Structure 1
Amino acid sequence: MIDKTNRPPIGRRTLLAGTGALGVAAALPTASAQANPATRRAQAAAYPENWPDPEPYGLADTRPDLWPRDDNSFVLPLELRPRDKERGVVWMRDTYVNCFVVRGRPLYVATGTSRVPGLDAAAPWNDGIFVWVSRSLRGPWRLADTTGIRPGAERGKVWSPEFAGENRPGRTVVAPWQQYWHDDEFGKRGNVWAPEVHYVRGRWYIVACMGDHSRKVGSFLLVSEGGVAGPYRLAKGNLAKPFGESFIGGPSFIAPGAYHHIDGSIYAEGDDAWLVLHNDLYAKFRADMEDIVPTTDLPKFQQSPYSPEPYLEGAYVFKHGGKYYLLHAAWNRSSVAPDGSTRYAYDPPGTGRTQYQYDAVVAVADRFEGPYSRRWTAGVGAGHNNFFTDHAGGLWATFFRNPNAGYWSHPSRIANAAVPGVVRLEWTGPEGNRLYVRRGRNQPAEG
């Protein structure tokens, strides 16, 4: 059996064991305890503290405690493909990891944006989506067994524009707008970004995004007709286009009308599921998960925006402790403050502003749609990630160290960028209701 949310089913005993590993209280507060101020103070002291936010709102918290470090994180030992062997680690952006309990056993899945040999980025084309699986977060991690689906093909590749030849009447694997194409400026074009694997009501799904070099740019859904390895087909709502309507956006080389909403994610709870999109948008899926519910305008999360609000990416919703956490990736840009010091903030691009770190910023709410609290820095350099719960109830986030700009693009660090990383999280308890990268603990990350 599988829980009908985006986290594995965890009993109270397991939850307490997992939170104990994070150094929090060994019991959830009762109503009588909440009414007793002394007891409440004692319980609050058992949890990590909320940090005061930098003021004014929109400044970034860059303290080293919020970085993934050797004592709170590690790079997943994913099985190497032939293309990875020279580097010794899988090249990955937009790392996604999750744990599902299927037929009583934990199954970990990992995926992310990939690149092809000979290119230093996932553009102007790449060759699709790879999936790894494991019974433990520490591994061994193996490429999903796709040999029975495509004998002789590269193991672990569950979807690619090159699978267009598998299309049949009534079953589309690759839509025309997802297929490779060529032009004089870039040559071969067509790339897929930021895949996520989800298990909703007993069926495997992959939500992903066709990238800036595709004929149409935007999010789509793949439906498995088997297990986590597939075979996958395209959802009916994406046969002609990505989810949502097109609008003007993206780089100048994207054709007018081609740009749709990117960085799709799924949040599922009970019998309902939602598509979560970039910046502030979401949509409910139909019951059959073949398309989103038609609407004139996509609804928006009720947020507390920065002023001015920058472009945000990698939206993801995670539920913990009865609260909803809305994650975004935001570029932390450095500039010179009036007093001559360095200012770090989630500013839009501008003169004198330099990309520094690709951070994870988070807000919390009582309801999926909000209203959400003011955002805080949950992880420095950990942007475009997801939060997940391991099989023992421990809390984790992913990271990849953005190689495109900022800190991790420096020649001295680029070799350690674009990796499938995971970092421990800590929860500040039912009074604080914040999730941070585990701060200032001189002990190795478990897993």
Structure 2
Amino acid sequence: MLNERMQPVVNLLGRSARKEKSVWIHQANQMKDANLFVNERSDIMTQLNLINLTEEDLRIVRCIQPLIAEHIDEMVAAFYGSVLKVNKLHNIIETHSTVDRLRDTLKVHLTELFSGVIDEQFVSKRLRIAQVHLKIGLEPKWYMGAFQHLFNIFIELLHDKTPDADERFLVIRTVSKLLNFEQQLVLEAYEEENLNQKQQQYNEIKEMLKGKIASLTQALAALTEETNASVEELIASSAEIHQSVNINITFSRQTHELANLGTDKMHELNDQITFISNCTGRMEQTVQQLSQSSRQISKIISLVENIAKQINMLSINASIEAKRAGDYGRGFSVVASEVQRLAVDTKNTVSRINELVAQSNRYALDVTEAINEVTQAMINGKAKAVDTRNVFDNIKASMDYHIEKSLRVGEEMNALVQVIEQIGDSTNQVALSAEALNQTTVDL
């Protein structure tokens, strides 16, 4: 049994086994109340087998329990004397308990640890210890450090109380297995509790995210509806603007056509003014020629009037001579009287012609003045026609520019409508994605 198990250790140390039985081994062989109450198929049993912690080891542990109880006050005092030097551990103790209370707790714990029994209660209590450690914020590194310090105290005690080196090695190794098993249980509980807390945090964060995503999805859905409504309004407004632009383009083209027609009319008017100007020029030449002819007629009338005066004088002289001749001059007197009458008629006719020529000269002067006024009016009209044609040309140029701009605005409006429609499609896609995201969060 235990003596047989110690043989490899003795050989390893290079020492001969003691002839007398060791104290702890002898007591362990006589011990009957150390047992393992663990399901052989459980992970706990696998862990025990891995570190080779057996019932024989538990009997040794049970044998040294009285030694631990005898020196437990010294061990606990030494343990907390070192632990309280670590500020973080000191703060944890002060925050969640008192040193005296923890001393008593540790005494009970160590006593139970060396009871020589590992059962479900033993395991459950270690799990509760891990939960308490995690609750007060004792990190695994401080737990392991404190446990190592506790193991060091055990080694010192067993070293002093176990003079046989082989037995001391066996006992210390057994205590090391026991403490290692407790550490496994506590650290596993640490890990499970840590995973539980992380899972809880994950669930809380998940629920929070689900709530936020749901809120965001609802807000996004509302925003999508508003955006769609705005997009529809923009499309409708854009269509109206586009229609207005097309109407404006139509009016502009009509105005451009009217301006072209006005320009053509102004060309025709300018041609008519030029034709009238040419006619008035010829008329003015004709009137000048008529005035010149009137002057020539006046000269001729003056000659005829002189001739009539001379004839009249001759007829008077002939009448005088005919009276002197008596009967011989009676026929000549008749001729003289006819000549004198003809001279008077000629004089009257010449006077009438003079009046007509004078009247014709006045008419010619009036016509000349009227032609001059018409000529000036035509010059002014022609200048105004040129100005009007320039105005029409400017209107045409402005209409061309306006039509070009309107066409460009129409193209840009078409592009804008396409962009707005794409925004509407993208908004719908966002809404669908948000709904899918919301459904995904619900399914989590």
TM-score by length of 1: 0.18
Question: Of Structure 1 and Structure 2, which has the larger fraction of its residues in strand?
Answer: 1
Question: Of Structure 1 and Structure 2, which has the larger fraction of its residues in helix?
Answer: 2
TM-score by length of 2: 0.18
- Which of structures 1 and 2 has the bigger CA Rg? 2
